[in-house]
Chain A
Amino acid sequence: MEKKLPKIEIIEKYCKGCHICVEFCPKDVLEMKGFYASVKNLEACTSCMQCELRCPDFAIKVTNE
C-alpha cells in the first residue's frame, strides 16, 4: 500500500528564515531555499510536528489526513 504523505504548508509571508524548522527536523525534510524554508524530501516526513511546534512565526502547518 502506498504511504499517504502529509501536507506541509509553508506560509512565505510569515516565514522569517530563522532556520529553526530546518535544524530541528529529525528526518531532514526541510531546507532553506533562498530566504524561506521549503520542503526538500516529503517522503521522509513522519508528521512529528516538530517544525510546526517550534516555528516562532506561525509559518508552518502540517496536515495529515
Chain B
Amino acid sequence: MAFDYDKWLRPGKLPHIWCPGCGHGIVMKGLIRAMDTLKLKKEETAIVSGIGCASRLPGYIDCCTLHTAHGRAAAFATGVKMAKPEMNVILVGGDGDGTAIGGNHFIHACRRNINMTYIIMNNYIYGMTGGQFSPCTPTGHKASTTPYGNPDPGFDIAKLAIGAGATFVARGTAFHANQIDKLIAEAIQHKGFSVVEILDDCPTTYGRRNKYKSVIEMMNRLKDVAVPVKAAEKMTAEQLQGKILTGVLYKEEKPEYIEEYAKVIERAKAAK
C-alpha cells in the first residue's frame, strides 16, 4: 500500500525546488516515514534548518519549522529545545551549512549532548550557491572554485561528530532509501545529540564536473562504496579501502544537557 506522504506535506508546495535526481527528496521521504512511524505530533515537532539546498526541506513539511541563518541551525534549535524541552527538535542541513559555516555550532552542539537530531545531507559540494567546494569535497575532485582538483582532504562527518562528543552517530546513503527512515527514527529516539549523515548525490553541480554521466551512475557509486558496519567487521583493511561504513556507527549514554541544566537551576535556587 502506498505510503501517504501528503498528510505530512504542506499543500501546494510541491513540486520542490531540488534538481532532477537530487537525493534530498529521498531523504525527506525517509524523514517523513520516520516521523510517522514514531507517531510524532506535528505541534510537538520542530524542524530547523540553515541555508542551502538541503535547508529548504522544512518548507515542505507540515509541522513547526524554522529556516534560519546560514550554518546557525544548531544555535536556533538549541534555543527552541531549551525553551520547550518537550519538543522533538530535528535539524536538517547540508555539508557546507553544517561543517563549514556552521562548523562551530555543530561541534559545540555535539559537545553539549543536547537532546536533538541533526540530519546532514552530504552531497560533497555547495549546491545552491554555484558548486563551490565544501569541507566534504574529496581530494582531487572538482568544484567551480577548484577546477584543477581540490587539494584539501575532506571531512569525515561521522568521525567529527564522534570526536566532538555526539552520543549517537549513524550514516546512510540516498541509495539505501529503506534504511534512512530506520536510522532517523533510532536517532530521534536516542536521548542526547544524534547525528545522521546521509550521503547524497548532486548531479547538477558535483556530478557533471566529476565525470558522472548520470544520476544513476551517482546512485550506483553510493551502492558500491557503502559497507554496513556488521559486514565490515569480517572484512580486511585492504577490502575496506575506499569504502564508507554505513549503519549505526556509535552509540553511548551520557548526561543530557537539558537535564543537567535543570540541576544547575536547582543548585542555584538552593544556594540562596
Other contacts beyond A14-B14, A20-B216, A57-B15: 6, CB < 8 A: A18-B215, A19-B215, A52-B2, A53-B178, A57-B25, A62-B2
Indicate which residue in B1, B16, B178 contacts A64 across the interface (CB closer than 8 Å). B1
In contact, B29 and A53 (Cβ under 8 angstroms): yes
The prevalent SS among residues of B at the interface is loop
Q: Is the CB of B21 within 8 A of A18?
A: yes
Distance between Cα atoms of A52 and B178 in the complex (Å):
11
B249 within 8 A of A: no
Q: Interface size of B by Cβ–Cβ distance < 8 Å? A: 24
Q: Closest CB of chain A to B172's CB: distance in Å?
A: 13
Cβ contacts under 8 Å, B20 to chain A: 16-18, 57
B24: interface (CB < 8 Å): yes
Mark out the residues of chain B between 1 and 47 whose CB falls within 8 Å of any chain A CB in the assembled complex: 1-3, 5, 9, 14-16, 18-26, 29
Name the residue on A nearest B23 (C-beta). A56
Indicate whether A54 sits within 8 Å of B2 (C-beta atoms), given known contacts A19-B21, A19-B215, A19-B216.
no
Convert A17-58 into 0s and 1s, putting 1 for each residue whose CB lies closer than 8 angstroms to a CB of B.
Answer: 111100110000000000000000000000001001111111
Q: Which residues of B contact A55 (CB under 8 A)?
A: 25
Q: Report the separation of the CA atoms of residues A18 and B216 in the bound assembly, to the nearest whole angstrom.
A: 9
Which residues of A lie under 8 Å from residue B19 when comparing CB positions? 16
Closest 7 CB pairs of A and B: A56-B25, A18-B21, A16-B20, A18-B20, A61-B2, A23-B216, A14-B15
Tell yes or no: B187 within 8 A of A by CB: no
* Residue numbers in A under 8 Å from B196 (CB-CB): none
Q: Does B219 lie at the interface of the complex (its beta carbon under 8 Å from any beta carbon of A)?
A: yes
The closest CB in chain A to the CB of B15 belongs to A14
Closest A residue, CB atoms, query B9: A58
Known A53-B29, A55-B25, A56-B24; judge A16-B15 contact (CB<8 A): yes
C-alpha gap A52/B32 in the complex (Å): 14
Closest to B220 in A: A23
Contacts of B215 in A (CB 8 A): 18-20
Q: How far is the CB of A28 from chain B (nearest CB, A)?
A: 14
Can you list 8 A-B contacts (CB < 8 A)? A53-B177, A54-B177, A56-B21, A56-B29, A57-B14, A57-B25, A58-B9, A64-B1
In the assembled complex, A13 has its CB within 8 A of some CB on chain B:
yes
Structural contact, A56 and B178, CB atoms closer than 8 A: no
Select from chain B the residue with minimum beta-carbon distance to A53: B177
Residues of the A chain whose Cβ atoms lie less than 8 Å from the Cβ of B3: 52
Which of A13, A16, A24, A58 has the largest count of B CB atoms less than 10 A from its CB? A58
Asked if B214 is at the interface of the complex by the 8 Å CB criterion, the answer is yes
Contacts of B2 in A (CB 8 A): 49, 52, 61-63
- Nearest CB on A from B204, distance (A): 11
A20 and B15 within 8 A (CB)? no
